[in-house]
């Protein structure tokens, strides 16, 4: 029996806190609008004015997943926020927030959806929330330390790691530089994306998935791809995902990834949708016919899958997450 294909890195967002619990800061919202195609940005601004933007974002994403026949399951990621010294959510310092319950409820709207959860380890009820979301069906914990303002190497997180290992839930933690979610703190927070800061989690027995596999992309940004590979040779419980590998920020490193003789054994497919692939940057790596066939396709989930297939990523990269996430 063949294993199902899984896109294990799909985002959803929103800003209607009274309807969905989601919110974005003003600067975060403007940044995202600036990065969207003008026509889509205009549609979302209109939907926001009409009070239906979260519903439209959800509808669009669910359509992408449903229409992508090559992907059997998609893992939807929430996003916890920044917490103050008392362990309470600090909304003023949180740029992007998607509550766990919103994503857990989405799983009931499509048989293709697998819910993740996001639990900042410095929230006052971190262990209790971890147990709650595990019991509610979350298959993965998602972190973005640079934007959530914590260091994964902080020894105070050790009890959280031990609980996570005991629950047998993998941890997907951002590595490399963060380009999308703003941090209200200094640029020094980018250091929280260094792969070696996840060593305590690995030693505690957590299955760690490094989002983006340590890659960054910007010409002046440190790249940790080699650090990821070095650590993966030591830790059998370490994996990396391919999120944003087809985006312009990381296209330049694709040749050394797709020609590596060992890395495929630890990679998992993730699109980072609804982030769009950068088609014009991929012309030297895939056929022009494929590029043109995808140009008018808005479906980021489908486009990313087809591009990675054409780039030569083997079948096990697309199916390996099913075993790690215990998807039957």
Residue pLDDT, tens place only, 188-221:
799 999 999 999 999 999 999 999 999 987 778 8
pLDDT confidence of residue 312: 96
Q: Which residues contact 258 (CB under 8 A, 6 or more apart)?
A: 285, 311, 312, 313
Report the half-sphere exposure of 219 (CA within 13 A, side-chain side): 0
In this structure, what token pair is assigned to residue 146? 């640079």
Task: Give the three-state DSSP class for 241.
Answer: strand
The number of angstroms, rounded, from the C-alpha of 174 to the middle of its chain's C-alpha atoms is 7
What percentage of the chain has pLDDT greater than the value 90? Answer: 82
What DSSP line would sit under 143-186, residue for residue?
E-HHHHT--TT-GGGHHHHHHHHHHT--EEEE-S---SS--SS-
Report the half-sphere exposure of 301 (CA within 13 A, side-chain side): 26
Q: What is the mean pLDDT of residues 64-84?
A: 98
pLDDT confidence of residue 1: 62
Q: How would residue 35 be classed by pLDDT, with cut points 50, 70 and 90?
A: confident
Q: How would residue 33 be classed by pLDDT, with cut points 50, 70 and 90?
A: confident
Taking the C-alpha atoms of residue 7 and residue 74, their distance in angstroms, rounded to an integer, is 5
pLDDT confidence of residue 36: 82
Please, are residues 65 and 110 in contact by the beta-carbon 8 Å criterion?
yes
Q: Where are the alpha helices (DSSP H) in the chain?
A: 26-35, 38-50, 53-67, 100-106, 126-135, 145-148, 158-167, 199-203, 225-234, 254-258, 288-294, 300-311, 315-324
In this structure, what token pair is assigned to residue 6? 């899984």
Cis-peptide, bond into residue 274, ω within 30° of zero = yes
Mean pLDDT of the chain: 94
pLDDT tens for each residue of 114-132: 999 999 999 999 999 999 9
Please, are residues 249 and 223 in contact by the beta-carbon 8 Å criterion?
no
Taking the C-alpha atoms of residue 254 and residue 311, their distance in angstroms, rounded to an integer, is 9
- pLDDT > 70? residue 273: yes
Q: Scanning the structure block, which residue is given the tokens 């006052």?
A: 124
Q: Which residues contact 21 (CB under 8 A, 6 or more apart)?
A: 97, 98, 99, 101, 102
Q: Which residues contact 294 (CB under 8 A, 6 or more apart)?
A: 277, 279, 303, 306, 307
Q: What is the mean pLDDT of residues 255-259?
A: 92
Q: How would residue 187 be classed by pLDDT, with cut points 50, 70 and 90?
A: low
Task: Give the three-state DSSP class for 222.
Answer: coil
Which range among 90-104, 107-121, 125-139, 248-262 shows the weakest confidence by mean pLDDT?
A: 248-262
């Amino acid at each position: 029996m063949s294993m199902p294909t899984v896109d294990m890195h799909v985002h959803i967002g929103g800003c209607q806190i009274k309807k969905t619990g989601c919110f974005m800061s003003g600067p975060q919202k403007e940044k995202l609008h600036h990065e969207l195609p003008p026509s889509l940005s205009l549609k979302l601004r209109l939907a926001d004015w009409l009070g239906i933007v979260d519903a439209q974002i959800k509808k669009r994403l669910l359509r992408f997943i449903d229409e992508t026949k090559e992907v059997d399951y998609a893992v939807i990621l929430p996003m916890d926020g920044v917490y103050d010294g008392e362990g309470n959510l600090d909304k003023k310092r949180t740029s992007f927030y998607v509550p766990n319950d919103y994503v857990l409820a989405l799983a009931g709207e499509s048989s293709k959806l697998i819910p993740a959860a996001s639990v900042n380890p410095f929230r006052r009820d971190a262990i209790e929330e971890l147990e709650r979301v595990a019991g509610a069906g979350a298959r993965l914990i998602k972190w973005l330390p640079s934007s959530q303002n914590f260091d994964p190497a902080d020894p105070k997180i050790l009890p959280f790691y031990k609980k996570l290992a005991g629950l047998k839930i993998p941890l997907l933690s951002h590595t490399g530089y963060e380009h999308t979610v703003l941090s209200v703190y200094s640029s020094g927070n980018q250091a929280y994306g260094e792969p070696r800061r996840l060593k305590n989690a690995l030693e505690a027995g957590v299955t760690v998935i490094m989002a983006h596999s340590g890659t960054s992309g910007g010409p002046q940004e440190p790249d940790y791809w080699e650090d990821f590979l070095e650590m993966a040779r030591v830790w059998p419980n370490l994996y990396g995902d391919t999120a944003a590998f087809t985006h312009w920020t990381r296209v330049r490193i694709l040749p050394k990834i797709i020609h590596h003789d060992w890395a495929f054994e630890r990679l998992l497919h993730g699109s980072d949708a609804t982030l769009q692939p950068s088609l014009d940057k991929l012309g030297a790596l895939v056929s022009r016919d494929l590029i043109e066939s995808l140009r008018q396709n808005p479906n980021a989930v489908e486009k990313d899958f087809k591009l990675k297939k054409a780039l030569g990523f083997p079948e096990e990269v697309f199916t390996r997450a099913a075993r790690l996430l215990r998807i039957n």
